[in-house]
Amino acid sequence: MKRRDKAQHKFEICLGYPCFSLELSPNARTLTVFSLQRNKEVLGDLVTSATAARLKNGYETPPPGGGTPQHRKSFAAASPAESPVPACSSQQQPLSEVSKQNGSRAGWVLHTLLQLKAPGLLRERKSSTGRVLRRCAAGTDLVEWLMTIGVHSRQQATAMWQVLLEEGVISHVSRDQPFKDKFLLYRFWQDDENGASVAPTEADEAQAQAELKDALAYLTQKAPDAMMRLILRKPTHERTSDDLETIYEELLHIKALSHLSNSVKRELAAVIIFESHQKAGTVLFHQGDEGHSWYIILKGSVNVVIHGKGVVTTLQEGDDFGKLALINDAPRSATIVLRENNCHFLRVDKDNFNRILRDVEANTVRLKEHGRDVLVLEKISPATNAFSHFKYTVMAGTPQKMLEHLLETRLDGRIGQTREEGPSDPFLDDFLLTHIVFMPTHQLVTELARHYRIDSPSQDREFLVACKRRVVHFVHRWVSTIRHPVFEEPSAFAFLEELSGEVSDDNARWEMEDENAKMTQVMDELAQWSATQSVSQKWKLPPGGQPISAFGSDTQRDLRMRPQDDIIFRVYCADHTYCTLRFPLSSNAETVKVSAADKLGLKHDDLILVEVKSSGERVVFKDSDVSVPTALSLNGRIFVSPKEHLEALTCLPDQETPTEGSVGDLELFSTKELAYHMTLFDWSLFCAVHEYELIYHTFGRHHFQKITSNLDVFLRRFNEIQFWVVTEICLTSSVSRRVQLVRKFIKLAA
Ligand SMILES: Nc1ncnc2c1ncn2[C@@H]1O[C@@H]2COP(=O)(O)O[C@H]2[C@H]1O
């Protein structure tokens, strides 16, 4: 505070501490400069310690309770009338209640001293439109005035005024914008259009001078962050090389960027933007919205809210969010709501994200709900990514979250968008083909129904319709990939019927013609499948170990064995007597055992159903095993016997290896002809195998209670061929014929 009395050429210099009153003379001028220098040193120390504190963890906020004991003392000493809290505009965001109070106190001190020491600064001016503006000052003048009281640089002074602006103490006369060291007019909140400013009294002056040191210390402490925010708020094209360096240094301390190289951080410095929101409860974006930006939390916390689940997690300072929509080109997977007042973010917009970050983003993205990981995405290396345009694939997740992620990212809910018909995506197919292992069909349809019936008055129509569309697209894709096993599940059958009714009703309200057509197609397939259910085929397991084959000679028949198809087979007793049974393939070992025991006159107590292999090995069936006859090994036979007689079971004579070969028959056909017919037959067996049978086989048929007969027959076929080749070679005694035979087999295999 420097007051110049022209008549007496006197300077009065009050810094809150050493206060000098001098006559203007060369010596006095030297002394004045010396005093200002001292003041700068003290401020310099404060700046250094504030910066050090900030650099520890990026943006440091004041410790709880805020400020020094002196701050609290001076605030406590002020009466409510002396320390009113200004209203805040969106640019004027209090950092916390305590700092807001400290800020308004510092504002009061500067306002009081400005009026007393530089009375001409705050005065009435005319705007360019001729409007009279009450008691305002130009940004440049305010900066210079602060420098006269010892602030060492214009930049520092600008940042200190920005602190006051963010805390609502000063504001631009007409617009909501940051403080600038330019001819832009600002005024104190007490001086606004409605304010009744009262001239400071002598007591005010004494109080203000007593508090000046604390006020400057407070503003100095806050200045580095405010300066950073000022720089980050600048339009990116206005950033100077010094600005970029300052931002870059700041980015080095941000956890969410720690995996990125320094050159990427330098690129980010040019485009990263500061964004702040004042009120808890503010929605940053909604689930289902298009993704425009990626965010890092600098201060505060946000809730991640998902439709039908509520708040699934809270993200804190240092966390980031909003990446999923950008990396997957998908809608927002959650709504982000401010959990507290005055949150600060760094933001990178989509174009810049794609240009700078998309290819260097972290290899793993983890999503949490209620403290545990629910989805882990991993970057796909470009070399293995020929099938998909997605950069990330799912490595792990809860079934529910994986389905949610699939629906949101792999299936487009917008009208006319048929993402699933684009490049095929392994994750969607993998999910469809394997969900029975981790998400039984009844659970899947319950989840699908929940997603379809999602309803909320707060969500816009487009979001709700998009959810419905995605479910229908998923179901259509599911049915066309999995086919009949979907219909075989009673829960899925019922769900499809209900869904088709709902889609048809919704079509009337919500233009879902495409979806309605898809459901009609699904229902047609379901009807076709139902029609085939009344027809069952018969198969036989010939007694002599010949291949399993269709019963009868109908060449038009379906080569696929179905659960309701009957199979005719023999069950033997220990004494090699037998009965012939006919059961659906889906019957379990328990049923077969009881029926065989009845027919063979065995008592039911403690019986077992056993396979006796041609090697003499005995394998007991579990009561829950299904497709028992087709599961036999080559030349295996089914026996029923009391448990205690297991060791006494022996092979049938016809289970021994054959004694005569079929070389003569083989010579009747050319190798080409043989190869052609064998391949045709093998191909038809292969086509009859459903992908699910591989899963039942791998994870244990008894877990699923589903038949694996087509796979059994296909695997048996391999064994038959292998066994046949070896047998024929061994049974050919003449060396020259053996050589011919081996040649023929080699040609056949080629
Ligand atoms: N469990 C979660 N499920 C979905 N999104 C989450 C979850 N946890 C954090 N998020 C973040 O919330 C953001 C919402 O927008 P995006 O889908 O772009 O990216 C999302 C993630 O960054």
Q: Tell whether the model's pLDDT for residue 373 goes beyond 60.
A: yes
Counting ligand 1 atoms within 8 A of each CB, the residue from 333, 336, 338 with the most, and so the one to mutate, is 333
Q: Which atom of ligand 1 is nearest to the CA of 320?
A: 22
The rounded Å distance from CA 291 to ligand 1 centre is 11
Find the mean pLDDT for residues 639-651. 94
Who has greater pLDDT, 162 or 415? Answer: 162
The helix/strand/coil state of 320 is strand
295-299, 354-358, 429-433, 621-625: least confidently modelled range: 354-358
Find the mean pLDDT for residues 260-288. 94
pLDDT (0 to 100) of residue 634: 87
Q: Tell whether the model's pLDDT for residue 49 goes beyond 50.
A: no
The rounded Å distance from CA 499 to ligand 1 centre is 29
The helix/strand/coil state of 592 is helix
Q: Is 375 left (phi over 0), alpha (psi -120 to 50) or beta?
A: beta
The complex's ipTM? 0.99
Find the mean pLDDT for residues 77-101. 44
| Contact assessment for residue 104 and residue 112, using Cβ atoms and an 8 Å cutoff | no
Counting ligand 1 atoms within 8 A of each CB, the residue from 304, 312, 336 with the most, and so the one to mutate, is 304
For ligand 1, atom 7: residue with the closest CA: 367
Who has greater pLDDT, 361 or 583? Answer: 583
The closest alpha carbon to 293, from 263, 316, 324, 319, belongs to 324
Who has greater pLDDT, 602 or 73? Answer: 602
Q: Tell whether the model's pLDDT for residue 43 goes beyond 50.
A: no
pLDDT (0 to 100) of residue 197: 64
Find the mean pLDDT for residues 499-526. 94
Find the mean pLDDT for residues 85-93. 41
The rounded Å distance from CA 324 to ligand 1 centre is 6
The rounded Å distance from CA 299 to ligand 1 centre is 18
The rounded Å distance from CA 333 to ligand 1 centre is 6
pLDDT (0 to 100) of residue 35: 34
- CA 596, 598, 602, 603 dihedral sign is positive
Q: How far is CA 466 from CA 287, 637, 691, in A?
A: 11, 56, 31
d(CA 159, CA 157): 5
Q: Tell whether the model's pLDDT for residue 543 goes beyond 90.
A: no
Q: Tell whether the model's pLDDT for residue 45 goes beyond 60.
A: no
Diameter over CA atoms, the chain = 137
Q: Tell whether the model's pLDDT for residue 502 goes beyond 70.
A: yes
Q: pLDDT tens digits, residue range 118-130? A: 988 999 888 878 8
Tracing tokens 């009949």 back to the chain, one arrives at 484
| Contact assessment for residue 472 and residue 422, using Cβ atoms and an 8 Å cutoff | no
For ligand 1, atom 19: residue with the closest CA: 322
d(CA 162, CA 214): 17
The percent of residues in the chain predicted with pLDDT above 90, rounded, is 56
pLDDT (0 to 100) of residue 98: 58
d(CA 611, CA 114): 102
Find the mean pLDDT for residues 304-317. 95
pLDDT-derived band at 333 (thresholds 50, 70, 90) equals: very high
Residues listed for the chain: 750
Instruction: Give the other-Cβ count within 10 Å of 721's Cβ.
Output: 15
pLDDT-derived band at 41 (thresholds 50, 70, 90) equals: very low
Find the mean pLDDT for residues 166-188. 89
Find the mean pLDDT for residues 533-555. 78
pLDDT (0 to 100) of residue 470: 95
Counting ligand 1 atoms within 8 A of each CB, the residue from 367, 370, 410 with the most, and so the one to mutate, is 367
pLDDT-derived band at 245 (thresholds 50, 70, 90) equals: very high
Q: Tell whether the model's pLDDT for residue 687 goes beyond 50.
A: yes
pLDDT (0 to 100) of residue 293: 97
pLDDT (0 to 100) of residue 207: 94
pLDDT (0 to 100) of residue 79: 31
- Which is it for strands 566-572 and 637-642: parallel, antiparallel or unpaired? parallel
82-91, 229-238, 672-681, 717-726: least confidently modelled range: 82-91
Average pLDDT, the chain: 82
pLDDT (0 to 100) of residue 505: 94
Find the mean pLDDT for residues 323-328. 91
Q: Which of 1-5, 22-26, 205-209, 542-546 has the highest mean pLDDT?
A: 205-209
pLDDT (0 to 100) of residue 533: 83
Find the mean pLDDT for residues 502-513. 92
What DSSP line would sit under 458-499, residue for residue? TS-HHHHHHHHHHHHHHHHHHHHHH-HHHHHSHHHHHHHHHH
d(CA 368, CA 647): 56
d(CA 271, CA 357): 12
7-16, 53-62, 387-396: least confidently modelled range: 53-62
pLDDT (0 to 100) of residue 265: 94
Q: Tell whether the model's pLDDT for residue 146 goes beyond 90.
A: yes
pLDDT (0 to 100) of residue 546: 77
Q: pLDDT tens digits, residue range 549-571? A: 877 655 556 678 999 999 999 99
pLDDT (0 to 100) of residue 557: 62
- Which residues on adjacent β-strands are paired with residue 126? 132
Q: What is the CA radius of gyration of the chain?
A: 41
What DSSP line would sit under 515-537, residue for residue? HHHHHHHHHHHHHHHHHHHT---
For ligand 1, atom 13: residue with the closest CA: 322
Q: Tell whether the model's pLDDT for residue 450 goes beyond 90.
A: yes
93-102, 288-297, 430-439, 499-508: least confidently modelled range: 93-102
For ligand 1, atom 9: residue with the closest CA: 367
Q: Tell whether the model's pLDDT for residue 538 goes beyond 70.
A: yes
d(CA 108, CA 92): 16
Q: Enumerate residues lining ligand 1, CB below 6 A.
A: 291, 304, 306, 312-313, 321-325, 332-334, 336, 367-369, 374
The rounded Å distance from CA 225 to ligand 1 centre is 28
Find the mean pLDDT for residues 53-68. 29
| Contact assessment for residue 146 and residue 160, using Cβ atoms and an 8 Å cutoff | yes
The percent of residues in the chain predicted with pLDDT above 70, rounded, is 81
The rounded Å distance from CA 294 to ligand 1 centre is 11
- DSSP E strands in 247-319: the ranges are 273-277, 283-285, 293-299, 302-306, 310-315
pLDDT (0 to 100) of residue 568: 95
Q: Which atom of ligand 1 is nearest to the CA of 315?
A: 9
pLDDT (0 to 100) of residue 449: 97
Who has greater pLDDT, 369 or 358? Answer: 369
Find the mean pLDDT for residues 540-545. 83
pLDDT-derived band at 386 (thresholds 50, 70, 90) equals: low
d(CA 147, CA 154): 7
